[in-house]
Amino acid sequence: MADSYFPPTPPHDADSVDHQLHNDMSAPNIALNGAAPPPNGTTGTKDAPGRMSLKLSHLPSRQIIKPIYPRSPSAVDPNNPPWPAYRGYHEYSFAYATMGQRLPTILGKGIEDVVVTLNQEYDEERVVDLVQCIERMDALMGELQAQAKLRPIIDDGEADVALWNKLIAKYFHGKTFMNAPWLFAEAYKYRRLQECFSISKFWKSYDVFFRQKCDTFSRSNEAVFELSMRFAEPFKLKDGLSPDQKLEAERLMFKELTQICLWGNSTDLSLLINMTEDQIRSLQSTGGANLAATEKNILGNHMQKLWETALTLRSNTGGRVDFVLDNAGFELYCDCVYADFLLQSGLAKEIRFHGKRYPWFVSDVTKKDWTWLLNTMVYGQLFPKASDEEKESLRRLGLRWKQYEKEGKWIYEQHPFWCTGFTFWELHNEAPDLFLHLSRSDLVIFKGDLNHRKLTYDCAAPPSTDFEIAIGSMASAAGAPRICSMRTIKSDVVVGLGPEGDELAERLDKEEPGWKISGKYAVVLLSEGRPGEKVVFM
């Protein structure tokens, strides 16, 4: 995808972006004389609604009115983020390639997977039921390609139905896959895919991506064993080190593991589909020298502050750390290696992992993926070519992690809010129980690109915008926890690059088209939040 599509940084005064927005919100899709609208909008954006053309010769001439960003908090809503939203018809954004090409491809692969299952099924009732799932997927494909309007979600008993339908009714009534904000339209597509199965009789929990998720882990064998051979045994600092030397050794290890956890995000399945083994290997390099070289690609880097935060947790006898997980397979494995180190080094005493209730954005972790990983490490036979030592190292690591679960040191959770179309700016209002729960954590680590998009409202904020400003109430509400976003950059929104960030982004636009979707660059950003303050809901 990175070869064929290169979105630049949108203009920072966001003027041209906003004009497109105003068109899409206010211009009816008709021409005045009743003629059909032009096939492409006159603004240079394909699929944008057509414009009315009036001849107004006696009125004063048009003024240039620049909208002011960020919008004031009371003017912000899911259809009007603080800065202009990315929408599917914005040709300059990854939204355009995703809505037009990537999603249909991903859905097509999903259909192929179900067909494989169908061909292996023998029971007539189950076969007929599965055929109906495929028919619903076909219908969804048709709607996606026809840029249909977004309809309410059918009540399939999931806890998020009311949240989805409230969002659609209040903000996206009459909106299409192309002119709704990209984040919402894309999330909606995955919810609709879930619905294809959730209203069936026998296939409610079918995951069309499960086989591929397992695959990403087995295809990552080199990096998997590189880590298991180092961490199978509980980690120990060398004997005879002075307290300062010990601390420095731990700091270096923390930094290296933070990066392993971070770069584990660069090989998510939604972009991996056409990658070769060599490309995967180079993205997953876990060796120290390579990590040092790639640190310069962390464009917003708060790792030192993160280390200091972790030390504070330890001085308070270890804290609670939450991971809002992203992808299954290799990335989850890296997250667990990191979490294991946090526990063993006393920086944390409890880790909570937040996953999805159903398949989401292709490769996101579900409970099934979580359980699969731990069990395959202990009992699986995924790596027939591995040496006995390698297999044993993986087994030991898996056993230790299972033990953490039994002892309640690692806890897996799946709140329904994570699978909605809401951004995290709305978490405080729409999922107060979850906000309260997270406010009790000492550090919440959000993994990956989608979580970052949701934290930042997925809009065209200038790259120099402070992370704390970009995440709204997740930083500013009373009781907001400390938050760290670890994300390899795979879509348009980029913030937290510091005062020179706008120039840096412009330079990269010129020199390295595609830098925002390649996964080569990353951010590790920290928000202090307002921990310890009493959470208040209006």
Which residues sit at the interface with ligand F6P, rule CB under 6 A? 98, 102, 186, 265, 268, 270-271, 326-327, 361, 363, 448-450, 453, 490-491
Q: Which of these ranges, 173-181, 231-239, 260-268, 509-517, lies near Mg ion under the rule CB under 5 A?
A: 260-268
CB of 182 to ligand F6P, least distance (A): 8
Partner whose binding site includes residue 508, from Mg ion, ligand F6P, none (CB under 5 to 8 Å by kind): none
Q: Which is nearer to Mg ion, 24 or 364 (CB)?
A: 364
Alpha-carbon distance of 86 to 102, in angstroms, equals 16
Q: What is the per-residue binding string for Mg ion in 432-461, x denoting contact by CB under 5 A? A: ------------------------------
DSSP string for residues in 435-481: HHHHHT-SEEEEEHHHHHHHHTTTB---TTS-HHHHTTHHHHSTTPP
- Quick note: the x/- pattern for Mg ion over 39-78, rule CB under 5 A, is ----------------------------------------
Give the amino acid at 455. L
Distance (Å, whole) CA 267 – CA 138: 28
**3-class DSSP state for residue 71?**
coil
| Other CB atoms within 10 A of residue 295 CB | 16
- Residue 105 burial (10 A CB sphere; 0-12, 13-18, 19+): middle
Least distance from C-beta 323 to ligand F6P, angstroms? 14
363 φ, ψ to 5°? -110, 10
Strand segments (E) across 38-138: none
326 versus 468: smaller Cβ distance to Mg ion: 326
Residues 100/89, Cβ–Cβ less than 8 Å? no
* Strand order through the sheet with 410-413: 298-301, 522-527, 483-488, 443-447, 319-324, 348-354, 410-413
**Pairing of β 443-447 and β 298-301:** unpaired
Rounded to a whole number of angstroms, the minimum distance from the CB of residue 143 to ligand F6P is: 18
Residue (360 or 435) nearer to ligand F6P, CB: 360
- Which segment (173-181, 353-361, 378-386, 507-515) binds Mg ion by CB under 5 A? 353-361
- Residues numbered 268 to 307 that lie near Mg ion (CB under 5 A) are 268
Q: How far is the CB of 239 from ligand F6P (least distance, A)?
A: 40
Contact call for residue 364 and Mg ion (CB under 5 A):
yes
- Of the candidates 458, 533, 462, the one whose C-alpha atom is nearest the C-alpha of residue 76 is 458
Beta bridge partners of 413: 354
In the complex, minimum distance from the CB of residue 131 to Mg ion, in angstroms, rounded to a whole number: 29
Q: Which is nearer to ligand F6P, 300 or 380 (CB)?
A: 300
335 binds, among Mg ion, ligand F6P, none (CB under 5 to 8 A by kind): none
Instruction: Please report how close the Cβ of residue 393 comes to ligand F6P at its closest, in angstroms.
Output: 27
Which CB atom, from 213 or from 490, has the smaller least distance to ligand F6P?
A: 490
Asked if residue 327 binds Mg ion (CB under 5 A), the reply is yes
Which residues, including other chains, have CB under 8 Å from residue 182's CB and lie 6 or more apart?
85, 86, 87, 88, 90, 93, 95, 98, 99, 458
Size of the residue set binding Mg ion (CB under 5 A)? 5
Give the integer Cα–Cα distance in Å for 150 and 180: 9
Q: Considering the complex, what minimum distance in angstroms separates the CB of residue 326 from Mg ion?
A: 4
* Distance from the first to the final alpha carbon of the chain: 44
Question: Closer CB to Mg ion, residue 442 or residue 492?
Answer: 492
Q: Whole-number minimum distance, CB 355 to ligand F6P, in Å?
A: 13
Judged by beta carbon, residue 207 or residue 364, the one nearer Mg ion is 364
Q: Does 190 bind Mg ion (CB under 5 A)?
A: no
Judge whether 260 and 196 are in contact, CB under 8 Å: no
In the list 231, 254, 353, 361, the residue contacting Mg ion (rule: CB under 5 A) is 361
- Give the footprint of Mg ion on this chain (CB under 5 A): 268, 326-327, 361, 364
